[in-house]
Chain A
């Protein structure tokens, strides 16, 4: 009986395609740092409330460095640029997200806005986009 040649060839093509997918350049950064698309409509966009305030210029720069100057907040997750920061809600209702350098940022609701506090102590006020 003649062995079916088409099946192994098809399997090889599927395997090759899968391997090519694994080695593709798109989709992720290295080292497990996942880049994701920010949600198209879920959550809310938050931004620094008073970007011209000189008193918070330094902490605004720190927020920018981590992509936190404009974020999508969807549940406990914050999207900083294309980096998803998986947050946890603490007992006060604040959301704590880990940052790349080992620090954390805590987002605490404050009236219509929220306060972003770095673990180093600096704070800056945020507002929901579209609100004054």
Chain B
């Protein structure tokens, strides 16, 4: 079955991490319910059958007397559907898409849907899912020498650069490994086949996708070797202190609070809270300011290190692409007032989110806002010794 969807741009804003979504027009056709069921079957994310049943047409039409029986029958039907969902099944969809202008530097055109931050909306069970492709990057570019590109560009101009993007895919998991699409119910899929056609069905381009597994393994995240701004966990506190003193100046130590994560004995800080705008403080933080907090265990070994630096305004896509290039496939991406990407295993909430997290956040004071001045950005990198934390929590 096929369907025609419009693309939605998650649209990471230039001056803030908030996401903007565009309107969606769908022609129907793709079995969105089955896509959602396969997603739930693969990820184990629970579906509230009772809530879905209560919102169904059958229940709404039922009399008060019959409603409990109809709900029970509807729940049973949904449970049968969920049990029958086949994770190996492939789907096909058609999306209204665009091909970019020619990039003379990279000598390529690119396909809009496969650009980080874009997704295909899927509506099922009264809620929105966001379908992203883990191997989109392998088909995003249409590389072409300049001589050939001129003719292709004429063809694209003739069709208004609009194409129908026909994709065969299978659902593989949860979350956007590129980190560009955030929020709940992000369906991760793998493109199996794809072709671009004009409105008359003439094939314009046939990209060759690379298997998602091969792409995701290119830069595997390893918490044991990862560094944040050149700092690692598992090192001696005195070595960190000496390095920080040379690089950043005054370092202070204090005893950790007793209600913190067990095993953390000391907190080491540089320029504590100096990177944030705080009402009433005389000194205003400025781009280039660096702040660091490290947590050390009883043996004076660094178990968590959090570093932040202030920057003049820059786009969130710069942040996202740099982080993904260094740390690989993103395990989780969230946005709201802060845009947070994370990698590795989850850790105790007293220590962080996951073994590694990176956040991008606007910070301004009332003067900035009053003068309509673009906010500075604060980029925070936080690394936790997840293996140690897991061992310690079990003791």
Contact = CB atoms under 8 A, between A and B. Distances in A.
B225 A40 contact: no
B326 interface: yes
B179 to A, nearest CB: 14
B229 A69 contact: yes
A40 B239 CA distance: 10
Contacts of A29: 224-227, 232-235
A35 B226 CA distance: 11
Interface string A25-60: 111111111011111100001011001111001101
A54 B377 CA distance: 11
Interface residues of B, number: 46
A31 to B, nearest CB: 4
9 tightest A-B CB contacts, nearest first: A81-B230, A67-B230, A51-B288, A30-B224, A80-B230, A57-B314, A38-B243, A31-B225, A37-B239
A4 to B, nearest CB: 35
Interface residues of A, number: 43
A40 B246 contact: yes
Contacts of B313: 54, 57
Interface of B: 219, 222, 224-236, 239-240, 242-243, 246-248, 286-288, 290, 299-301, 309, 311-315, 318-319, 322-323, 325-326, 377, 379, 381, 385, 388
A1 to B, nearest CB: 44
Nearest to B247: A70
B287 A39 contact: no
A129 to B, nearest CB: 9
A65 B326 contact: yes
A123 B290 CA distance: 21
A62 interface: yes
B236 A62 contact: no
A30 B230 CA distance: 14
19 contacts: A25-B234, A25-B388, A27-B236, A29-B227, A29-B232, A33-B225, A35-B234, A40-B246, A57-B287, A57-B312, A58-B314, A58-B318, A61-B322, A64-B309, A64-B311, A64-B379, A65-B322, A79-B243, A80-B229
Contact of A26 (B288, B301, B309, B377): B301
